Structure 1
């Protein structure tokens, strides 16, 4: 996928919302990615993240509302490898990741607030494909998200 979010904002100003007020870090092997949104809402429990990324994700990006927690990683190398095998374009987590050196080698976008070496607890909690909000934006399943080193934007329709 070849795009720059700045150009998409310029060309589609009336169609995009920009995620603001958060400091994102890119950890995956792709610095730019986009696709149709699936969502997970969870807190320090990556059970639903793991389950969702184990399903076919061609052309999709998983948006995870992890409550902004940096205490437990919601994705690491094994879950990300599974996502690559299942065709996911990327994962955006309002929370943390781990295994950052391994993530950088994978053909997937991974953007989070930060990293921590502590794995997630697994209690089977979390919700799939519900609206989630952070950074001044509400993400609806089925919308489109685009992310690169300039930022993250969301639109109701595909822009590319």
Structure 2
């Protein structure tokens, strides 16, 4: 099944499918920072955000598609603020039916490749992950991310406060 999956940069016409994916995964797992409320964005807003991402050199959004359905999203969010322009924040979401197929690894490899590319000004990648999400933590460690801190009560899910790990990876030349 994995050989039928395509990974590419998101384009504005992906907006509706992206929002549908986010709504689906928001209720599949307690590992997301959103819940049943979903992303809370209109298709128009998402389209505009993707247009801005496509034009950016510090932000990228990749989508994984199985046929025409988006089954994964991987992003690096950067900022144009001069003192923070070298930092990219990573997020990955994969539909539960596709867990355990190395899709997270493939998407993370592509993000790191983009971040190390000639058009990127990033020098630090960081992410947060719930401490209980052992599968994701193992992936990030395998890819070269280091644990920097554990943030007690970093997220609240179904009335429980959960620890969140801050992880980072230094990239590129200084």
TM over 0.5: no
- TM bucket normalised to smaller: under 0.3
Higher RCO (CA < 8 A, seq sep 6+)? 1
Structure with more of its chain in helix, by fraction? 2
Which entry has the higher C-alpha Rg, 1 or 2? Answer: 2
